[in-house]
Structure formats: structure tokens, C-alpha cells
Amino acid sequence: MTPLVLSFLVGAALGAAFGWWARVWTAGRGTPASLRSAQAKIGDADRTAKSIVREAEIQARSEVLKARESFEASVKEQRRELNETLAGLNKREASLAQREQNMDRKADVLDRKEEAVDRKAAAAEQTLAEGRRMAKEAETARAEAASRLEKLSGMTREQARRDLMERARRDIDGDVGTYLRRSRERAEEEADRTAQKIVLGAMQRYAGNHVGDTSIKVVSVHGEDAKGRIIGREGRNIRALEAATGCSFVIDDIADGVVISAADPVRREIAAAVLERLMGSGRIQPQRIEDEVESVRRDWDSHLAKIGGSAADEAGVAISDPETLRTLGRLRFRTSFSQNVLRHGVEVARYAGMMASELGLDPVVARRAGLLHDIGKALDETHEGPHAAVGAAFLRARGERQEVVDAVAGHHGEAGDPTVYASVVSVADAMSSARPGARAENGDMYIGRMEKLEQIATAFPGVERAFAYQAGRDLRVFVDPDKASDTDALVLARDICAKIEKELQFPGQIRVTVVREKRCVEYAH
């Protein structure tokens, strides 16, 4: 830019000189008017030239300043980068120096540890050698002692061990067998005959119907036209039904019926009632479906009370409290191991009443406690705790008599010392839930359990054969009389029971009977 500016300045100066010369020349030759005009033009040209010169100087200075600032900024940036690079190199150098110092310290520590390990290894080797020497001396002394004992006793070491173990086994088996025999005799003398008479008599006198609760309910619908009305135009009716009831409706599985599927049995019952009302009226629309669902839900409490009242009448129990009846009715829609809880309660009430009569107790209290013993299972999740304690608290709040509350609270042994009615209800509960057919069980599982029982028994030495019967509640085991004594048979029964409890899962209890019988046969000729 500097040569251009200089050229411009030289040109401006030459132009000014030329203009002055022209003015002088015209002044000598022209008129005064023309002279004045020329002088004015020369003045204007002079001023214009000066202005151009000043602007060129200013622009040149500005360009010089910009170039200098750019150069200084570039120098500063390079100097800053150089400083940062130097700082990074200094830090890295310091880090490397620190790392080198750390490595030196670690090397010193490792050297010291290695020296300590070497010292300990040398000490261990010395101790091991000393131990080996002492072990050899002990082995020699033991061999000498064993040899002396064999000479004194006249038996080898192995023979003495077998003889000692055999004596100990006989002594232990004898003591255990004697203790078990005495305990069983005392227990049998006190309770066996009475308990068997009461329990077996009650089981023979009463048998109830057991209906396993399923996951579906079928509503009878006749004709394809009726099914079409349930589905509705583009499926809007069936979608409204499923949304309002929370159940699934299957139309085509059964020719003259609609299958209602849901995990909650209460929802299934409400859906079935709604569908029956809709089919009875003949008008099925989304709005009417919602109205019917609300109507059925409003009437559901009275329906539950009717169910509870019917169960109470069947069990021979008088209940007047509406809330207790409604809660009892909810048990109709609860199951325990596929056994309906309400039917189970009715059966427990019958069993408990019969046993109470045999024992001289009040059968009314026993039946009432038996019917209500599982009422805690009908309460929702807001009632926390075991169902026996929750049910007892509910009955106490409803003004139930104390004998019934105590029996419900203690029928699982969770309330300390159970009352006599709690014991009666507990036995009746076990009879109802454990008897054959009370609870659904897969056929393969049932057969497998029977076979497993027999396999467990026959695996013991001295057992000739074993038979499981009474739906797996009784196991008969026959032993070889020459290989097992009466005491051995008693111990064997306990061992078989212990192994069954460890390896099998079963409801109720299993009675194991070990039979030892020796028959002597001779022929007279």
C-alpha cells in the first residue's frame, strides 16, 4: 500500500503544479472574467488536491496501524501458545518426576517385602521340618502303642474299632428305641383312641361338595344373531363390555355360549350378570352397557350378603350382622390350593360342631368359629397381618363373642396358648384341607408322590416292600424280621418320617407303619 500512496501523492503534487502554471498562463492571455474563473477553478483544484492528499495520508496511516495491530496480535497469540506449551511441558516433567519418585518408593517397599517373605519362608521351612520330625516320632509312638494294645487285647486295631462302634450303635439304638416306645405308649394311652374315634366319626358322618374355582365363566347365548348383537357394529359393543368389566369375552369357543375370562372371580361374576341382563332386555349399546355395570356393582353388596347367609344357614350358624355376612360372602370368590374357601368354611363348621359334641363342648360356638375361621382371607390389603389375626380383629370390631374371636385368632397357633375351641377348629381345618379330594391335584403329581413314598421306604436296609394307600396318607412298610428287631423297626419308622419330611411336599400328615412279622411254617405228615 505504501508505493501506491506515494505515487498518488506525487501525482497530486504534479497536478497542483500544472494547475498553477495553467493559471499563470491564462492570466497573461485571458480577460479579467476568464481570469477570475480560472483562478476559482485553480483554487478548487488546489483544495481538492489537498483534500485528496489528506485522505490518502489518513488512509495510509490507518492501514499501517491495522497492519501493526494484526502483527502484534499474531505475536501475542503465538507467545501465549508458546507459554501454554511450556507450562504443559513443565507440568508433565513434574508429573514424570513425581512418578519416578513413586516408583522408587514402591521398589524400596517391594524389596523390603521380598526380604520379609524370604525370612518367613525360611522360618516356615524350618517349622515344617520340625513338624515332620515330630510327626514321625508321634507315628512311631502310636504304632508302638497300637502294637502293645493289640498284644494285650488279642484283637487288631480294625477289629477293636468295629467292636466299639457296634457296641455303641446297639446302646444308642436301644436307648432311642426305648425312649420312642415309651413316649408313643404314653401319647397313645392318653389320646389315640379318643382322637381316632372323634375324627373318623366326624369324617364318616359328613361329606361336602368341593368345586374348584376356575378362571372362566360361561353365559348361555342362543343363536348367531345374539352373538352378533354382543359384538356390535365393528366390535364396539364387545369393546365396551371388556373396558367396563375388565374381563375378556370369547364368542366363538362354544356354540351356545360366551366365555368370560378374568383372573378376578368377582369381575367374572359381575360381567356375567351384566351380560345376562343385557341379553334379557335385548338392547345392547355402549351407554347401556356402562349403566348396567354400575347397576350390578351397586347391587353386589346385597348379593354377597345373600351368599354369606346361605352358607351360614347350611352350616347351622345364625349371623345377623350385614357386614359380617357380606365379608363371608366374599369367600365364595376366594380359593386356597384350588379349594373354595367358603365351602371349606362350611365343612370346617360341620366337623368342628360334631367334634365339640363328642367332647362335651358347645357345638354352636364350634360351628360359628369353624365357619368364620378364614374370614380374614376376604379382607383387602389395607388389613395387614396373618389372616387369623386380621379375621379375629374384624370379628372383635363387629361385636362377635370372645370364644369365637379367640378360636379364630388361635386356629393356626399364632396367638400363644390356643383355647379348646381353637384346637377343635385347627383339627377340623386340617381334616377339611388334607382329606383325599379336598384340593385339586394333578394326576401325575399324585401318582408320582405315591411312588416316591414307596421308593423312600424301600431304600432303607432291611425293608422288604412298602405300600402307599389312602391317597398317600398312609404308608405300610414290611421289614425282614431276621434283619431288624422291634427296636430297629421303631427307629426305622422315625427315619422314614424324617426323610419324607425332607424330600416331599404334601398336605396334612402321612402315617408310617412299620410291620415286623415272622412266620414259622411246618408240615405234619
Domain boundaries, the chain: 2-146, 155-193, 216-434, 443-516
Q: What is the largest CA-CA distance in the chain?
A: 195
What pLDDT is recorded for position 177? Answer: 64
How many CA atoms are closer than 13 Å to the CA of 80, on its beta-carbon side? 6
Mention the CATH class of domain 443-516.
alpha beta
Contacts with 30 (C-beta within 8 Å, 6 or more apart), sequence order: 38
**Residue 256, C-alpha cell as written in the block:** 351356545
Cα distance between residue 71 and residue 522, in whole Å: 135
Cα distance between residue 422 and residue 424, in whole Å: 5
Cα distance between residue 369 and residue 315, in whole Å: 11
Cβ count near 206 (within 10 Å): 15
Cα distance between residue 522 and residue 158, in whole Å: 42
**Residue 5, C-alpha cell as written in the block:** 500512496
Cβ count near 284 (within 10 Å): 21
Express each pLDDT in 251-265 by its tens digit.
776 777 888 887 777
What pLDDT is recorded for position 173? Answer: 63
The answer to whether 385 touches 462, Cβ cutoff 8 Å, is no
Give me the CATH code for the 216-434 domain, please: 1.10.3210
Express each pLDDT in 268-284 by its tens digit.
888 888 888 888 877 78
Contacts with 262 (C-beta within 8 Å, 6 or more apart), sequence order: 215, 245, 246, 247, 248, 268, 271
Cα distance between residue 188 and residue 184, in whole Å: 6
The answer to whether 245 touches 271, Cβ cutoff 8 Å, is yes
| Cα pseudo-dihedral 12, 13, 16, 21, rounded to 10 | -140
Torsion sign across C-alpha atoms 216, 217, 222, 227: negative
Report the b/e string of 54-78 with b at 16+ CB within 10 A: eebeeebeeeeeeeeeeeeeeeeee
Cβ count near 388 (within 10 Å): 24
Amino acid present at 309: G
**Residue 46, C-alpha cell as written in the block:** 488546489
What pLDDT is recorded for position 111? Answer: 87
What backbone torsions phi and psi does residue 220 show, to the nearest 5 degrees? -70, 130
Torsion sign across C-alpha atoms 197, 198, 202, 203: negative
What pLDDT is recorded for position 213? Answer: 44
Share of the chain above pLDDT 70, in %: 78
The answer to whether 430 touches 477, Cβ cutoff 8 Å, is no
DSSP E strands in 133-281: the ranges are 216-220, 248-254, 257-261
Task: State the angle between helix axes of 236-245 and 286-315 in degrees (0 to 180), rounded to the nearest 10.
Answer: 40
**Residue 378, C-alpha cell as written in the block:** 376376604
Q: Which H or E run contains 335?
A: strand 335-336
Q: What pLDDT tens digit does each residue of the chain (525 aa) get? A: 455 555 666 666 677 666 666 666 655 554 566 667 777 877 787 788 788 878 888 888 888 888 888 888 888 888 889 989 988 898 888 888 888 888 888 888 888 888 888 888 888 888 888 888 888 888 888 778 777 777 776 667 677 677 767 777 666 666 666 666 666 667 666 766 666 666 555 555 554 443 334 567 788 777 777 778 888 888 888 888 888 888 888 877 677 788 888 777 778 888 888 888 888 877 788 888 888 888 888 888 888 888 888 888 988 889 888 888 888 888 888 877 667 888 888 999 999 999 899 889 999 999 998 998 888 888 876 677 788 888 888 889 889 899 988 888 888 777 667 788 888 888 888 777 755 555 545 456 667 778 888 899 899 988 989 988 766 778 899 998 888 888 888 888 889 988 988 888 776 678 899 998 877 778 787
The answer to whether 381 touches 406, Cβ cutoff 8 Å, is no
Contacts with 2 (C-beta within 8 Å, 6 or more apart), sequence order: 60
Cα distance between residue 452 and residue 444, in whole Å: 12
Q: Do domains 216-434 and 443-516 have the same CATH topology?
A: no
State the Rg of the chain over Cα. Answer: 54
What pLDDT is recorded for position 209? Answer: 43
Cα distance between residue 32 and residue 242, in whole Å: 118
